[in-house]
Amino acid sequence: MNTIIFAVIFPLIAGFFLWLLFRNKRLEGDRSALSIAMIAVSVIELAAVVNLFVCDLTGVGFDRVWLGWGVGGLGLSFRYTGFRGIFGMQAAFAWFVTFLFAKQFMKNDTRVIRYDFFNLMTLGATMGIFYAADFFTLFFFFEMMSFTSFMWVAHRQTYASQYASGTYLGIAVAGGMAILMGMFIIYVSFGTLDFAALGELRAAESLPVFAAAVCMFLGFGAKAGAFPVHVWLPASYTEAPAPATALLSAILSKTGVFGLLLVTVELLPYSNNWGKLVLVLGVITMALGGIRGVMSNNFKTTIAYSSMSQIGFILVGVGMQALTAEAMALGSAKGMSSEAHFAAEAYQVYHMAVNGTLLHMINHSLVKLALFMIAGIVFLNVGSYELNKVRGFGHGKPFLLVTFLAAALGVGGIPLLNGYVSKTLLHESIAGYAEVLNGLSGAGVSVGLSPAFIRGTEYLFLFSGGLTLAYMAKLFVVLFVERNEDSLLQYEYEEKNKYASVLSKAAVALCVFPIPLIGMLPNIVADGVAKYGFMGAAIEGALAVEQERMQYFSVRNLSGALISIAAAVAVYLFIVRVLMLRKKGEGYREIFPSWLDMEKYVYRDVFYRFFAFLLGIIARILDSIVDIAVVFLRKTVYRDKALPYALPEGNRVTHLLGRSMECARRFYCVVTKKEYKAKNYEHKLALKSMDLFENLRIIERSLSFGLFMFCVGLGLTMIYLLLVN
């Protein structure tokens, strides 16, 4: 059972070790050796998680694992469930294929040791997240992952990547704080952060708990890329190196979804409000991502928006889980679970939502790994992601054609490929939920959701499926159908046979391989995976119902795909062919209005600049209150007493007079617009007065001397008169 701890710690140790070994080696041979070491590490990691899976299958029982010593104050604990096992394997697999791919992609990058170091750190942290048994462990590794993956986005050190990584880190830190707040509330409310314990508590929804859930949504949703905290996503996905983007989209976004699922399953299993919140934001994410994906003129950004849109689909599934669980709970509270029909129906719907969510997470992971690596291959050869430069690159490259097509159609929900399975499940859960609601309202239970709302969600769901196909069609046409306007370049593209190394091709092929497998044998592969990885709230009564075998290829389900395809054709023709290519000779243009840029105008301007400015002003005022009071007192009541000093020259009258003359002169100069030169009246008057006083004193003294002499003379005269008499 210590394999879990091994899986978490091994990449961290390996990262440090390899960093020490390679930190000063920058030659090409060293880089190649490092790449091979990385592949070896990921193989060991993969073996470890597969070992866990096999142990579980063979029935070697395991409960939770505590990592002792109270790490971080509360201690870390891990556990294994089917869901965690699947995503642990998925993560190890994703790292393995991206390391295969990175050997070629990062060949000329001198900073590859730094990239690899943070890559392994992120791997360890991701494992920690998926195997976490409580919120504290989850948070512990989630924050680690946010910071180490920051270095992916910042890796290229260009201005654009600095900007993107700034947003990434800002949202990540803020999201982390939001999660922490949620954890505080949960811990204070329930006294535990353990998922299993929380699940058993079956907390009734209260305001603090819902606030905690909203905080968690902000944090985990940010990593997933959910509206309205998705703003970091497009730029960061575009700026990170292609293998890192593949991981960001395939695995890191799933850690966010995993967090949201834990909230849905363990914390608020029957919450109508939580379900509505996730559903509404999921629908917005899904539609917005799709629209922006169609309108983008950058190969990689399109796929990035596609990730956002697919996360929206997954969030719809998460929301439906909460809503259907609530419907079940309401039904059984009404005693409707005795009505076998209702119970079976509600349970099927719930199951579809849970399975659809899980399968779409897996499918999206596989597809995005493949697509971002294909984008990386294109970038290696073309040196740009812009559609106008990429145009025509795919001609004469059957491997690229097959893999791209499989991935694009797979995520687009074309029957016989994997996306169709998961999207069908999700769609059916929405449609089925509407029926369950009908049943409930027939029994007099109101859920507070209008049928129109569900109907609208369903249409938007199908429309967004169409958007997926539309932007994938755009990329396909650009890459494989159209020719570059520069015919020389087109010739060069067509002649290029060695456009990817064997390892890179193998990496892409490994990701594409399961796509038709899941799509063609849904009842075996998909249902099997879903059954093993089932992660749902334990709902009494309903669980006893046998799961119905899903008819994936029924007419009803196929017609949903057809609606999406029809929408796709319309959107592609109108938006891409008409709007984007409107001006001849300019090729594809970005047509999403720039003033709708939420990242720049809402987050950077309002949140970052304006609020910081406001807070700064308030803080500055508070900061200087006492100092101002001191200064005020010193200027008024406690004024410094003027030192008793003699005026250096002149007296009060001359100063007053001199100053007023100076003022008058200045005033005169201002009025007559003459250049003002100080005439120094004060000084002159002082001199004058000194002269005056000097003279006065002379006069005074001579007068007194005269008087004195006069007195003396008078005295002498008196004496003489006395003597004579």
Partner 1 sequence: MNELILLPIILPILLGLVLLLLPERVFGNRKWLVNMTGVSFLLCAALGCFAVSGAAGEQSALLLFRIVGEIPVYFAIDDLGRLFAGVVTLVFLLVGFFSLSYMQNEEHEKRYYAFYLITYGVLMGLDFAGNLVTLYLFYELMTIVSVPLVLHHGTKEAVMAGLKYLIYSFCGAYMALFGIYFLYSFEASNMLAFTPGGSMDIGRAAQSGNSGMLLAAVFLMLLGFGVKAGMFPLHAWLPTAHPVAPAPASAFLSGIIVKGGVLAIIRTVFYCVGVDALRGTWVQTVWAVLAVVTLVMGSALAFKEKALKKRLAYSTVSNLSYILLGLSMMNRTAFVGSLLHVVFHAVIKSALFLFAGALIFNTGRTKVNDFIGLARRMPTLYWCYTVVSLGLIGIPPTSGLVSKWYLAIGCLESQMGAVGWIGAAALLVSALLTAGYLLPISIKGFLYAPVDSSLITKYHEPSPLMLVPIMIFAALTILFGVFPMPLIRFLGGIAAALM
Interface region with partner 1, contact rule CB under 8 A, candidates 48-56, 134-142, 272-280, 434-442 = 134-142
Residue 15, judged by CB atoms within 10 A of its CB (0-12, 13-18, 19+), counts as: buried
List own/partner pairs for 189-197 with CB under 8 A and 24 or more apart.
192/134, 193/74, 193/134, 193/135, 193/136, 194/77, 194/133, 194/134, 195/132, 195/133, 195/134, 195/135, 195/262, 195/266, 196/64, 196/79, 196/133, 196/266
Among 340, 619, 633, 698, binds partner 1 (CB under 8 A): 619
240 near partner 1 (CB under 8 A)? no
| Contact characters 622-651, partner 1, x per CB under 8 A | xxxxxx------------------------
- Taking CB under 8 A as the binding criterion, the range among 172-180, 352-360, 468-476, 514-522 that sits at the site for partner 1 is 172-180
Task: Specify whether the backbone of 192 is left (phi greater than 0), alpha (psi in -120 to 50) or beta.
Answer: beta
CB of 71 to partner 1, least distance (A): 5
Q: Write the DSSP assignment of 386-437 as a string of letters.
A: BHHHHTTTTTT-HHHHHHHHHHHHHHHT-TTSHHHHHHHHHHHHHHHHHHHH
Q: How far is the CB of 151 from partner 1 (least distance, A)?
A: 9
70 is an interface residue for partner 1 by CB under 8 A? yes
List the interface residues with partner 1, window 143-162 (CB under 8 A).
Answer: 143-144, 147, 154, 157, 162
Is residue 444 at the binding interface for partner 1, with CB under 8 A as the rule? no
Rg (CA), the chain: 39
> What is the total count of residues that contact partner 1 (CB under 8 A)?
42
In sequence order, the 6+-apart residues with CB closer than 8 A to the CB of 77 are 64, 65, 66, 67, 132, 133, 134, 137, 194
The yes or no reply on residue 54 touching partner 1 (CB under 8 A) is: no
- Each residue 394-423 as x (binds partner 1 by CB under 8 A) or -, in order, gives ------------------------------
Near partner 1 by CB under 8 A: residue from 69, 448, 585, 645: 69
Q: How far apart are CA 113 and CA 95, in angstroms?
A: 16
- Look at residue 1 and give its three-state secondary structure: coil
CA 155/CA 158 separation, integer angstroms: 8
Which one-letter amino acid corresponds to residue 540? Answer: E
**24: contact with partner 1 by CB under 8 A:** no
Considering the rule CB under 8 A, would residue 140 count as an interface residue with partner 1?
yes
* Contact call for residue 612 and partner 1 (CB under 8 A): yes
In the list 41, 106, 120, 169, the residue contacting partner 1 (rule: CB under 8 A) is 169
Task: State which of residues 29, 59, 61, 73 lies at the interface with partner 1 (CB under 8 A).
Answer: 73
| Listed residue (527, 347, 546) closest to 421, CA to CA | 527
* Complex with partner 1: residue 154 or 537, whichever CB lies closer: 154
Residue carrying the six token digits 């007493």: 641
List the end-to-end C-alpha distance of the chain, in Å, as a whole number.
146
Question: Closer CB to partner 1, residue 190 or residue 399?
Answer: 190
Token digits for 97?
């294929």
Pick the piece of the chain touching partner 1 (CB under 8 A) from 44-52, 381-389, 426-434, 612-620: 612-620
The rounded distance, in Å, linking the Cα atoms of 384 and 393 is: 12
Query: If binding is defined by CB under 8 A, does position 618 make contact with partner 1?
Result: yes
Task: Give the strand pairing for 76-78 and 65-67.
Answer: antiparallel
Round to whole Å and give the CA distance between 29 and 459. Answer: 55
Q: Find the length of the chain.
A: 725
Instruction: Write the binding mask 180 to 199 for partner 1: x where contact by CB under 8 A, - elsewhere.
Output: xx--xx-xx-----------
- Using the rule CB under 8 A, is 251 a contact of partner 1? no
**Cβ distance to partner 1 smaller for residue 138 or 475:** 138
Residue in 21, 55, 174, 657 binding partner 1, rule: CB under 8 A: 174
Is position 442 an interface residue for partner 1 (rule: CB under 8 A)? no
Task: Tell me which residues touch partner 1 (CB under 8 A).
Answer: 69-74, 139-141, 143-144, 147, 154, 157, 162, 165-166, 169-170, 173-174, 176-178, 180-181, 184-185, 187-188, 612, 615-616, 618-620, 622-627
